[in-house]
Structures are given as C-alpha cells and as structure tokens.
Chain A
Amino acid sequence: MSDPKPLSVPLDPHTLGVQQLFVQHQRQLRVFVLALTPDFAAADDIMQETFLEVSRQAAAFVPGSNFPAWARRIAKFKVLALSRNRQRAALRFADDVVEALAAAAPADLDEAQHDAAVGELRKCLDKLGPAARELVRLRYFGEHLPAEIAALRLQSVNAINVTLARSRAALRECMERGRRLREAPP
C-alpha cells in the first residue's frame, strides 16, 4: 500500500492572483450560475468545478482583462457539460437557450452594488408577512422544494407555488421601490 499523494503542487503567484479574483467575484458569479442551474446543490457543484477549471486555466487569463466575463464563460461550459448525464440534464435548459441567456446576462454588479442589493433585500424580507417569510425561509435556508414544503406545512403544492411566486413578486417590487428612492434626487 502506498502513501497517499501530497494533496497539491505549489502554486505560482499568477494562479494565486486568479484564484483571488474568483473569490472576489464569486457571489456575482453565483447569481449567473444559479440562473442557469436553479438547483442549489447542482449550482454548488458547478461553482466548485468552475473554481478548479479557473485554477487549471489560470495561465490563459490575461491580467487586466475582464475576469467576470472569462469566469462566466468557464461556468457556462460547466453548465453545458451537465448534459453528459440524463439525471442532471433535467436541471437546465437546452444548449441554445443556455447560450442565448448567457449572451443576454446583465453585467455583474460591483461589490458595493451587490452589497446594497443584498441589504435592500434584507429590509424587504422584514416587510413580508410571517407566513410568507417562513415560506421563503424554508425554500432558501432549508433548501426545500415546494413539494417538501407542502408536506411540512400540510398544504397543497399549488398553494405553496402560488405563495412563493407572490412573495418573490412582492420582494421584487419592494427592491425596485427602494432602488428608485435611493436614486431619486433629494
């Protein structure tokens, strides 16, 4: 029996720098990935694989060029690679739709804008009714699908779907209002 291999080879400063960029942009990249694979566990896998691929291909990244666009391209290929097996292909759209959506994706927010959006969303969540708030919590913190929530709450799946959709619409409007207020002249 041989000893286990060392876990890694040392990294050069350039690769290290590229990994740092990934860390800085990971929250925005995750928005992109979760849109193309809305399943949280699958999106985690894509992020993990994207990180490894970004590390492998670090030498190809030109410092000063557009890192988010480069990372998105790699993430998109990882999403397309999901089709290699049947179970997971169901988690995403057809190839041409993934391509069309990726091309139409709005540019990443910068870190401050992203933080502002997150802060705004927190405030809006506080304004939700308790039942809707709990539902959002089950869906996004508990990572339960509507069918599981329905079983937990003894409600129909349809009722859960409707309430979730309404809660998200309310949150979207609330954030939109907040943004308009922020940008309105004093």
Chain B
Amino acid sequence: MNDDRLARLVSGYLDGQLTPDERSELEDLLRRSATARAQFWRDSRLHALLHEVENVGGPAAAECRGRLPRRRFGSAAALLTGAAGIALLVALGVHYWPRPLRATVPAGAAHETTTTAVAVLTRTLNAQWSTPADTHTVGAALDPGWLRLRAGIAYLEFFNGVGMVVEGPAELQLISAREAFCRAGRLRADVPPVARGFTVRTPQFQVVDRGTAFGLYAADGRAEVHVFKGKVTLQVAAAQPRDLSGGEALAVAPDGTLQRIPSNQAAFLSAADVERQSAMLQGQQVQAWRDAAARLNADPSLILRFDFEQDARTERALHNLAEHRPPAGDATIVGCASAAGRWPGKGALEFRNLSDRVRVSVPGIYRSLSMVAWVRVDRLECLFNSLFMTDAFEPGAVHWQIRRNGSLHLAIAGPGNESAVDYNYDSPGVFDAARLGCWTQVAMVYDSTKRQMTQYVDGQPVGRSPIARVIPLRISHGELGNWNQGNSSDPVPIRYLSGRMDEFALFDRALNDQEILDLYTMGSAGPAQR
C-alpha cells in the first residue's frame, strides 16, 4: 500500500473531493488493511478537532453549552454548563441537542468571529450604485473598499465616530476607520473630538482633521476643501502643510495652483438635512407601498397576505388581507410580541421565544406556490430556523427554513414513505453575520410548469434547482416562525425563528423573477431600519 496515496484519498474524502472511482479505491484500502483504518482515524480525528478549535472559544468557552434566547434569561443563562443547561431546558420543556456555542465566544477568547468592517451605511436617499455588485444596503457594515455612487446620497458612520454625507456622483474608497480616499464626489465629514486625525485624501491633497466639520469636493482634477468649524491640516503635494480654520476654504486647480475661496456650508448637505429629506421621502414612499399593497391584495392568486399592521396586543387573530379570500382564513398569533418593522411606524411581530409562532390554515393541494416574506433575522439559534413550515411531514408538506450556516432551505415531503430529504433545495449561505439584524426580503417559488425551484434574497435569485419530480404541495395547517411536529410525544426538534417578520404573502402560482423583484422594490421603499 502506498501511504501517500492513502493520505491523499483520506484528505480528499474529508474535503468532499473524491470522484466515485477514488471513493471505491479508498473503500477497498480501508476494507483490506487495519493499518489504513488506523491512519484513517488519525487523520479524521484531526478534521474534527480543527472544526472544534475553529468554532469554539478557549477552554472557558468549551464549557458553554446552553443556547437560549438571551434577552429572556439574561447573560448568565447563555453560559450554562451541561448539567444545569439540560435541567433548565427540561424545565422549559425543550429537547434538542445543545450544540457548543459558536461565534458568540466570550470577549478575549482566542478565536472570535472577526470583521474587517470600518463603517456602517446608516441612510441612503435615492442612492443609485454604479453596478449591482457595488450595491450596499442600509445597515450594512462596510469593509475597506470602494463606494461608487452614481447618484443620490449616502450617509455613513465610521467606526471611530465620524459621520459622513456623500453626494453622488462619488467614488470614495474606505481605507480604514480613520481614513478615506475621495476620487470624486461631494462630502461632508463631522468629526467628533475622539476621532481627531481622521484623514481624507484626494488625488490633489490630503486633509487631516483637527476636530471639526468640513466639506470636500473633488471632480475632474479640481478639488476644494471647506472648513465649517474647527481646524484641518491641508497637505498639497510636497508643499508645507498648512492649517485651515472655520470659515476658510481653498481650491486646488488641475494644474496645482491654489486659490482661496469663500467657505460655502450651504453647498454641502449635513446629516440633519439628510434626515429631514429622508423623513419626507419616506412619507411618500410609505404611501406608495400602501397603494401597491392594496393592488396586491386584489391579486386572485393571493392566498394569504399579512402586513402585521394591527395591534397584536389586543387582536390575536392576524387578518388575512387576500381579498379573494380563498379557503384560507385569518391566522392565530401565539406568543410573539409586537415590534417595530422596516420603517418607523411599520408594525411587525417578534419571534424570540420557543413558543412564538403564527398558526395558519390553508386547505387544498397546489401545483405551484410562491412565498414572499420580509424578515429581520437576529440570530441563527437552531440547526433549522423556521420561516414557514407545514405541520409534521405529510406528503407534500412544505418546510421553508434557514439553516444554521445561513443558507435558505426548502424541503418538500415526498409521497408515501420516502424521506423528505429527497426533495431538498438549499441556497448558498446568504444569512451571514452582515445580514443578521438587517431587514431582508426572502422568497421562494416552486414552479411545477418550468420544473424549477428558486429562492430569492432582496429580489435577486440566490439558488435555483431543477425539480426532479413534481410533488403536489399541501399545507393544511402550518406556522410562520416555528414548527409543530403535530404527532406523538416524541421529542420535538426546536426550529423557532429568532427575529422579526413584518410582511408575508403566499400565492398559488409561480411568480417570475421580475415579480419578485417588483415586490422587493415596492417593499424596500421606506428607508430600511436596523
């Protein structure tokens, strides 16, 4: 036996890289040789240890085993050790595998989740990004790199506390939490005392802040800096640095000549201006959303639509707004606190306790279905986190969830005794750390005519799979944000959602890509909120 060959095959096996022939070859080696089996265990043990080391903190964190809604039980409960954890889980009537904590390791532990972000995008006004790949959503953490704004306004907050209004067209490169490069655009920076030394470079000069508010304009080789208050140090090419104070402004022409100009604060929008305009725009946009929603409610293919605008404290039946009122009726809220939705004044329901759920009833058998929801996922607590789930596993049951790894997961229960996992559709991981806590549109379309299943995030398809065998879909009874296994006294895996939902629609036909995108555009009209 060739040891190198065996090592290579085992390595390929651990990384999911084996071809069927290589797999057979490895299987033969393992059947024949005890030495090969010993080497297999040595190598695969390292595989498991590496996964443990990379996902759990130091020795202290290795003790952490409880995963409970922290807001309810306080931080102490999040650090339960095994026995106490189990006891509490049982007291709560919960059965699940208490997986070791991941990512949320204590401060100071050697292997924390890391971020390279330097700023957060707090507001946008009619922002048009240069390319779809360049698009940034409000609430998104911004890594070092380019922001290319074709038109509109973006307001960012650097992690060192600097607030910056950027007016398009602009090309701004974030370099760190204390430095940016502006190739073109109009921007205003408000620099609190703690962030002194904040630097903005342009092709013509460098501005180092000395505690102030200043504006900067760059286009076509010309650049201006306007100081509104405080002081900045300006460095042009190799010349001596010079200080500019409040009320002073300087222009640099493409040929490098300097010219004093009047400081013009009115030429630069402030954060307060952005806020005012944003509020005005939002009023218009919310009205546009209401108008569009009224048209949507009249769609004959709409089975269920909830806008979560009612007061859940007094009204526990969630109104189904679908006007054609097919067999589906109102839903029932179980648990679930009222919460703020996508924009100020928008209603939502919060799912954060193990019992929180909305129960729906949808009789009938469907060839195709589409679901669209607006959710803010705060944490991925469970292996599977429910968006919409039919009770139990009856043939045709629809289970739409987010996996712990952040992928959208749709499972259709097969006919007869076939396992549901034969009809599983997974998107790549889309709920990463940057998306948690941000309002997101998710959608799925099961299209039996085109025989394809598509999942969407924020109007864009993120995963499309062929449907090998069309299964008639059945919901009967189901839940938003949780799962009722429906039978027996078996322990029930916990699959509740940790987050909020503020809109949900179910159609008995396959929506196309454009319709999903339109719903996204209509629903994201109000400036999204954290």
Cross-chain contact A48 with B383 (CB below 8 angstroms):
yes
> Which one of B34, B49, B86, B485 contacts A118 once the chains associate, using CB atoms below 8 Å?
B49
Q: Kindly provide the distance from the CB of A159 to the nearest chain B CB, expressed in whole angstroms.
A: 13
Name which residue of chain B comes closest to A103, CB basis: B37
A78-108: contact bitstring with B at CB < 8 Å (1 yes, 0 no)?
A: 0000001111100101101100110011100
Cross-chain contact A8 with B491 (CB below 8 angstroms):
yes
Within 8 A of A (CB), among B1-38: 7-8, 11-17, 23, 26-27, 30-31, 34, 37-38
Interface centre among A22, A140, A175 (most CB of B within 10 A): A140
B365 at the interface (CB under 8 A from A): no
How many residue-residue contacts, CB under 8 A, span A and B? 197
Within 8 A of B (CB), among A144-166: 145-146, 157, 161, 164-165
B82 at the interface (CB under 8 A from A): yes
Q: In the complex, what distance in Å separates the CA atom of A122 from the CA atom of B477?
A: 49
Cross-chain contact A161 with B11 (CB below 8 angstroms):
yes
A168 at the interface (CB under 8 A from B): yes
A60 at the interface (CB under 8 A from B): no
Q: In the complex, what distance in Å separates the CA atom of A117 from the CA atom of B86?
A: 26
Q: In the complex, what distance in Å separates the CA atom of A114 from the CA atom of B501?
A: 42
Interface centre among A50, A100, A141 (most CB of B within 10 A): A141
Cross-chain contact A34 with B47 (CB below 8 angstroms):
yes
Contacts of A1 in B (CB 8 A): 332, 359, 361, 477
Contacts of B44 in A (CB 8 A): 31, 34-35, 38
Cross-chain contact B17 with A161 (CB below 8 angstroms):
yes
Cross-chain contact B484 with A4 (CB below 8 angstroms):
yes
Cross-chain contact B334 with A3 (CB below 8 angstroms):
yes
B24-65: contact bitstring with A at CB < 8 Å (1 yes, 0 no)?
A: 001100110010011011111111111111110001001001
Tally of chain B residues near chain A (CB < 8 A): 80
Mark the stretch among B89-97, B180-188, B215-223, B250-258 that contacts chain A: B89-97
Contacts of B311 in A (CB 8 A): none
Beyond A8-B491, A115-B62, is A38–B52 a contact (Cβ under 8 Å)?
A: no
Q: Kindly provide the distance from the CB of B45 to the nearest chain A CB, expressed in whole angstroms.
A: 5
A sample of 5 cross-chain residue pairs with beta-carbon separation below 8 angstroms, ordered by A number, consists of A7-B355, A38-B15, A52-B97, A87-B421, A93-B26
Within 8 A of B (CB), among A40-99: 40-41, 44-45, 47-48, 50-52, 55-56, 84-88, 91, 93-94, 96-97
B178 at the interface (CB under 8 A from A): no
> Which one of B46, B59, B95, B98 contacts A171 once the chains associate, using CB atoms below 8 Å?
B46
Q: Kindly provide the distance from the CB of B50 to the nearest chain A CB, expressed in whole angstroms.
A: 5
Q: In the complex, what distance in Å separates the CA atom of A101 from the CA atom of B26?
A: 12
B148 at the interface (CB under 8 A from A): no
B486 at the interface (CB under 8 A from A): yes
Q: In the complex, what distance in Å separates the CA atom of A143 from the CA atom of B432?
A: 12
Contacts of A101 in B (CB 8 A): 30, 37, 40-41
Beyond A1-B332, A20-B86, is A136–B421 a contact (Cβ under 8 Å)?
A: no
Q: Kindly provide the distance from the CB of A148 to the nearest chain B CB, expressed in whole angstroms.
A: 9
